[in-house]
Structures are given as structure tokens and as C-alpha cells.
Structure 1
Amino acid sequence: MNSDDTSAAGTMVVVVGPSGAGKDSLMDYARQRLRDNDAYQFVQRCITRDSAAGGEDHQPVTIDEFEDMRRQGRFAVSWGAHELFYGIPAQSLEEVQRGRTLIANGSRIAIPEFRKVYPNLVVVSITADRAVIAKRLMARGRETAEEIERRLNRAADAWETDCEIVAIDNSTSLESAGERFVSALLAIAGVRVPETVAE
């Protein structure tokens, strides 16, 4: 894509947030609300994680398969975190060039790479109160109290980016945060929403 010609291009929306903030739940909510709107596409990531492990709907691949795909240029963006590797399909570039708004599950550490690839980039940062995140992580039962504490400390680390950031607080109900997320996506695509809804 020609990074100098962005007037007719769509937008890549990268959703980031710490484990326990409810990122996947909000993306599922927005996916259902926007399922009949062809202007939006939710990106399916390639992940070196078995499909039986649960979580988001993804394309499971082995580490060797992932490396082959990366060498072949089949990822627009790829990164590693928590002993897993993640890839955003290169086809997403074509969809953005057609003017669509794409929504991808991302990571703060990968934002610089997204910034290089997608001229029109918006980051949606999903947050929640520390106590709420801790309660959600404890309920999952996957980590010890010490591991959860480390996660909470990492989530509190400051980070910077030169692209637009939209913050969504998901400390209360899924519907409340979900509607704010949908309103943000509509605004990003140029659909005017009432101020009382967008707040």
C-alpha cells in the first residue's frame, strides 16, 4: 500500500489490553453487533496454540508452520508473547486498501510494527480496575497469586505510541463497555453517533 495515499484507505483498529480486562468478550460483543455491516471485518489471527485451548477463534499452527508462513511473507505483522507467536494475515492489507475497517486483537509490544504497516491505525485500549482484573484472573484459576500480581504490575506499566488511542473501561457490565466499543468503531469509520452514547 502507498502510505502517502490514505484518503480512500480504510483503518486498522488494534485492540489491546491486559489479561482479565475482557478484551475477547468485548470483541465478541462488537462482532455480533456489527455482523451485518460489510464495512467491518474482524481479523482471525494465526497463533501457535491448539484450538482446543479455548480463547478466541484463531487459526492454530505449529511453530514450524508459523515460521514458514512468516518467511513466505504471509503475515502483515507478527510477534511473540508468553511463549506463543501471533500473526496478522497479509490479506488484511488488501481489505484496508479497499476501504474497510479491520479490527484485530493485538498487543502493546506489536504496536510499532502495526504502525509501520498500516497508515491509518487506531489503538483501542481495553482497561479495567486493578481489583476487577485480579478477581477475573483468580476466577479463571490458571495462575497463582504471585503470577497474577506480576501480570497486574505489567498491566500498570506506562507505554507510548504516536497513533490515536481510544480507551474503553470494562470495569462494569459487558453491555455498557460493549456499546462504547461499538460506538467507537462506528466513529472510526465515520458514522456519527450521539454524544451521550459515545461517552
Structure 2
Amino acid sequence: MTAAVETAAGGITPATELGGGMVIVVVGPSGAGKDSVMAHAARHFAGDDRFVFARRVITRPADAGGEAHIGVDEATFARMKGEGAFCVAWEAHGLCYGVPAKVQAEVEQGRVVLVNGSRQALPAFVAAFSRLTVVTITAHAEVRAERLARRGRESGDAIAGRLERQPRMPELPVDGVTIDNSGPLEVAGTAFVDLLARAVAR
């Protein structure tokens, strides 16, 4: 069984060909399994300093589950944003998200930085980073519904609302790759690892 991988606008250009590092922003609908796919890759590349898996700042408790993030309250987030602590920030599902400004320095140092992003925030990512690839993690609707229910964070109505929302991917001049995570995590995770390996190919 193989993951369905689709490429657009050139797929992925190795960072070495770009003359420095790059950002790979991972997006996709709720329940597609972005966190799981990224965690799979983080385990695979543990100790490899060519890659940085950025920790977002989120107005959600740090022990809420899901991705490893820095949890702050809304007042702290607003203060940090005002002080320029984020290179990209956005709001979604009643929460605020920020990507630490130090990510820009890590890119300039030649690293490949992975960020759990949002489709609506992609224009801000394009404005912040000249070397950017977008990886979209997808999954069939019934698979997403089952995963969201298992997560136990929301009511059935809230889950239905998430599934009904289909925000359009903005048309942007960036490389893009889509990975279908409807099946076993190992399949999509391996496809993502292979993609990252190409990002540092010489």
C-alpha cells in the first residue's frame, strides 16, 4: 500500500539549490493527521540538525494533547505579538497561533524548518519566507470524522461543523505537495520522510 502523493508547481526544490534553508509548512483539514505525520518525521530525523520542527505558541494549555506547543493565555499572546515575537501569527477555531521569530534565523542558517500551519495563514507565510514549500495532508471525510470523535475535544455538532468547512487553498506562487493520510500512519509518514530527505538532497 502506498500513499497518494500529488505535486504542484514543481513539487519540492532542495534547500541546497535555493542557496540556504527553507520552510516547509504543513497544512490540512482537521482530522487529517498533520500532528501524527509530523511526529513520525520528527522521530525519524531525531538528532539530525539539518531539520528543525518548530514549536508554535498557542492560546491553549500546554498539556491539551496533540502537538508539542508552548501554551499561553490570550493576554500573553497579544503582548508577545506586539513585541515582535512571531514571524507569522493567525487565529483559527477560537485560538491564536504564533510561529516564533527565531525560525527566520534558523532558515538563514541553512536549516529546513517544519511548521504546522494553516491554509488561511499561507499568504502570511509567503510574505515572511522567500523559500517555502507547502505540504497538504489530507484524508477521506469518514476517516477524519472518526479521528475527531476519538480525540474527544468537541461535540458531535462541532465535529460536523469542522467537516463542513472547506476553506479554499489560496493560489500562491509556491511549491506544493499533497499526501493522503487516509490509511495507516506508517504509509503517509514514510512518504513525508521521503519528501524531507529530498529537501536536503545534494
Shared fold per TM-score greater than 0.5: yes
Alpha-carbon distance in structure 1 between the residues aligned to 2:55 and 2:146: 28
Partner of 1:109: 120
1:160 aligns with 2:163: no
Q: Is the 8 A contact 1:8 1:97 kept in 2?
A: no
* TM-score, length-scaled by structure 2: 0.86
What amino acid does structure 2 have at the position aligned with 1:70?
A: K
Does the residue aligned with 1:175 lie in a helix, a strand or coil? helix
Q: How does 1:16-165 map to 2 (within 5 A)?
A: 16-154=27-165, 156-162=166-172, 163-165=174-176
Alpha-carbon distance in structure 2 between the residues aligned to 1:104 and 1:169: 18
Partner of 1:172: 183
Q: Is the 8 A contact 1:77 1:113 kept in 2?
A: yes
Q: Could you tell me how far 1:189 is from its partner in structure 2? A: 2.4
State how many pairs are aligned: 185
Partner of 1:195: none
Does the residue aligned with 1:14 lie in a helix, a strand or coil? strand
Q: Could you tell me how far 1:138 is from its partner in structure 2? A: 2.2
Partner of 2:13: none
- After superposition, what is the alpha-carbon deviation per residue over 1:75-131, rounded to whole angstroms, capped at 9, x for unaligned? 100111111111111110000011100001110111000000100011110000111
What amino acid does structure 1 have at the position aligned with 2:34?
A: K
Q: Could you tell me how far 1:159 is from its partner in structure 2? A: 1.9
Partner of 2:199: 188
- Greater relative contact order (CA < 8 Å, ≥ 6 in sequence): 2
Alpha-carbon distance in structure 1 between the residues aligned to 2:158 and 2:76: 30
What amino acid does structure 2 have at the position aligned with 1:158?
A: R
What is the identity percentage for the equivalent residue pairs of Structure 1 and Structure 2?
Answer: 44
- After superposition, what is the alpha-carbon deviation per residue over 1:21-75, rounded to whole angstroms, capped at 9, x for unaligned? 1111111100000112111000011111111222211111111111111111111
What amino acid does structure 2 have at the position aligned with 1:145?
A: G
**Higher deviation after alignment, 140-149 or 157-166:** 140-149
Q: Is the 8 A contact 2:119 2:170 kept in 1?
A: no
Partner of 1:3: none
Q: Is the 8 A contact 1:111 1:161 kept in 2?
A: no
**Higher deviation after alignment, 77-86 or 48-57:** 48-57
* TM-score, length-scaled by structure 1: 0.88
Task: Could you tell me which runs of 5 or more consecutive residues in structure 1 were left unpaired when the two chains were aligned.
Answer: 1-5, 192-199
Does the residue aligned with 2:63 lie in a helix, a strand or coil? helix
Q: Is the 8 A contact 1:30 1:182 kept in 2?
A: yes
Task: Could you tell me which runs of 5 or more consecutive residues in structure 2 were left unpaired when the two chains were aligned.
Answer: 1-16
